């Protein structure tokens, strides 16, 4: 199951997992609706990453903190540190390839 | 208005689809601007029975005459929304015309998305956006520019006035209907009749240089070329496009959504008039048969 992040659980989620993939999205964003199922698949297949979603509309402070100004955006964290920001709709294979290099 | 078949797109594939649907004696409406078709500016010399080179625009003009002669209605506008309503589809155009159709054929072609100016690629996600609806919220209180001539740019410019404090619309003459343009201007959009030249910044977008070498200080550049994309229209009708933005169809050019068909460049390469026309024939017949079956 994919965790829904918000202001109250964001930092603890990042800190409590070694590798984290976060899908930043909003309901009216067409490309986000296409990215969603891809991230769901990755979530059910990956053993190395904790996968979560962040609604950027409801969590604008986090969006500002990570300088998100386009969605979908994928944030990749390792040991609590942001190591990759992927902007725009990406094929599953591209995302897996980037994840495998983390 | 109720109709049997709506064809979205007035390129070779859409026009041929409309011709076949209309000749099957189902009420047919074709919505689109032939001038926006990729074929319009092409010189064609590999199309059966036509000794070329012939101007694509001339073939399209003839096609529109044909399609009307067979009883179809031609609406030279862009579609701005499409949705499913039970078994029907509701299609709205830029001037506010609304059609309820039993069957829809997507013959939209492939839209150009990228502008190709310096700085564009560099600042994607750092101020450059291709989706105002997605990203408007990140530009509250900021200054932005919208680039494009068609309906998507007009609507993006108006939308951005609700978020940004200053909105420039960079257009070499708007092609959207006057009502949409007026609405953007009324909302406070500042129109600039000049080409964009370069997006500049340091880590994020800071300015847009225009063709007359003037420079606008701003925070965001929204690139909104053409009409609403096939991918967006498909999703609005509950159909998930492929990753490359094409639409998957079966041998009858039917999509997974009952009553929704697709043909032409939007279903994939090679982007050839002959192929598009052949597919349009098939999609037109399939859509007409579907509409008849639901009567």
The pLDDT assigned to B295 comes to 58
Last-in-domain residue among B223, B252, B281 = B223
Residues 6 or more apart in contact with residue B260 via CB below 8 angstroms: B89, B103, B104, B106, B237, B239, B254
Residue B117 lies in a domain: no
User: At how many degrees (to 10) do helices A30-45 and A92-100 cross?
Assistant: 50
DSSP string, B82-112: EEEETTEEEEEETTS-EEEEEEEEE------
Do B248 and B164 lie in one domain? The reply is: no
What are the residue boundaries of the structural domains of chain A, listed by start? 3-100
Total of domains in chain B: 2
A5, A29, A39, A74: which is the annotated catalytic residue?
A29
Closest CA–CA distance from residue B138 to any residue of chain A (Å): 5
Q: CB within 8 A of B269, min separation 6: which ones?
A: none
Q: Number of A to B CB contacts under 8 A, please give it.
A: 61
Q: Mean pLDDT per segment of 10 residues, for chain A of length 102 residues?
A: 93 97 95 95 95 96 95 97 95 96 92
Q: Does any CB of chain A come closer than 8 Å to the CB of residue B243?
A: yes
- The phi and psi torsions of A16 (rounded to 5 degrees) equal -90, 0
0.90 surpassed by pTM = yes
Cβ within 8 Å, pair A70-B138: yes
Q: How far apart are CA A62 and CA A80, in angstroms?
A: 15
Which residue range forms the structural domain that includes residue B44? 2-111+228-293
Domain A3-100: state its class: alpha beta
Per-residue pLDDT of chain B (295 residues; tens, 9 = 90+): 999 999 999 999 999 999 999 999 999 999 999 999 999 999 999 999 999 899 999 999 999 999 999 999 999 999 999 999 999 999 999 999 999 999 999 999 998 789 999 999 999 999 999 999 999 999 999 999 999 999 999 999 999 999 999 999 999 999 999 999 999 999 999 999 999 999 999 999 999 999 999 999 999 999 999 999 999 999 999 999 999 999 999 999 999 999 999 999 999 999 999 999 999 999 999 999 999 997 5
What's the CA gap between B242 and B189, in Å, rounded?
35
pLDDT tens string A15-44: 999 999 999 999 989 999 999 999 999 999
Domain boundary among B223, B253, B279: B223
Same domain, B194 and B282: no
A59 vs A11, A29, B284, CA distance in Å? 13, 15, 47
Q: Which of B167, B196, B223 is the last residue of a domain?
A: B223
């Amino acid at each position: 199951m994919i965790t829904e992040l918000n202001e109250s659980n964001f930092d603890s989620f990042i800190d409590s997992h070694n590798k984290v993939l976060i899908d930043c999205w909003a309901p009216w964003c067409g490309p986000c609706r296409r990215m969603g199922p891809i991230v769901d698949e990755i979530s059910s297949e990956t053993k190395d990453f904790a996968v979560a979603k962040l609604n950027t509309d409801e969590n604008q402070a986090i969006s500002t903190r990570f300088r998100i100004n386009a969605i979908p955006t994928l944030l990749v964290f390792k040991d609590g540190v942001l190591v990759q920001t992927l902007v725009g709709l990406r094929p599953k294979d591209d995302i897996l390839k980037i994840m495998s290099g983390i | 208005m109720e109709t049997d078949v709506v064809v979205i797109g007035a390129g070779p594939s859409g026009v041929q689809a409309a011709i076949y649907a209309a000749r099957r004696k189902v009420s047919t409406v074709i919505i689109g601007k032939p001038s926006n078709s990729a074929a319009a500016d092409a010189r064609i010399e590999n199309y059966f029975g036509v000794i070329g080179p012939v101007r694509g625009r001339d073939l399209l003009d003839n096609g529109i005459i044909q399609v009307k002669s067979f009883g179809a209605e031609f609406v030279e506008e862009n579609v701005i929304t499409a949705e499913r309503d039970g078994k029907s589809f509701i299609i709205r155009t830029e001037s506010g015309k609304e059609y309820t159709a039993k069957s829809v054929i997507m013959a939209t072609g492939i839209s150009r998305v990228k502008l190709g100016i310096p700085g564009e690629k560099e600042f994607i996600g750092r101020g450059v956006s291709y989706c105002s609806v997605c990203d408007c919220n990140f530009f509250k209180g900021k200054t932005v520019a919208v680039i494009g001539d068609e309906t998507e740019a007009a609507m993006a410019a108006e939308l951005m006035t609700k978020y940004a404090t200053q909105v420039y619309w960079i257009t070499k003459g708007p092609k959207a209907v006057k009502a949409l343009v007026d609405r953007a201007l009324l909302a406070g959009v500042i129109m600039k009749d000049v080409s964009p030249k370069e997006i500049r910044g340091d880590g994020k977008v800071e300015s847009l240089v225009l063709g007359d070498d003037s420079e606008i200080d701003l925070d965001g550049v929204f690139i909104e070329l053409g009409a609403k994309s096939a991918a967006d229209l498909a999703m609005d009708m509950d159909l998930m496009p492929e990753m490359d933005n094409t639409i998957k169809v079966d041998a009858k050019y039917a999509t997974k959504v009952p009553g929704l068909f697709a043909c032409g460049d939007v279903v994939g390469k090679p982007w050839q008039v002959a192929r598009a026309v052949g597919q349009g024939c098939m999609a037109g017949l399939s859509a007409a048969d579907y509409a008849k079956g639901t009567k």
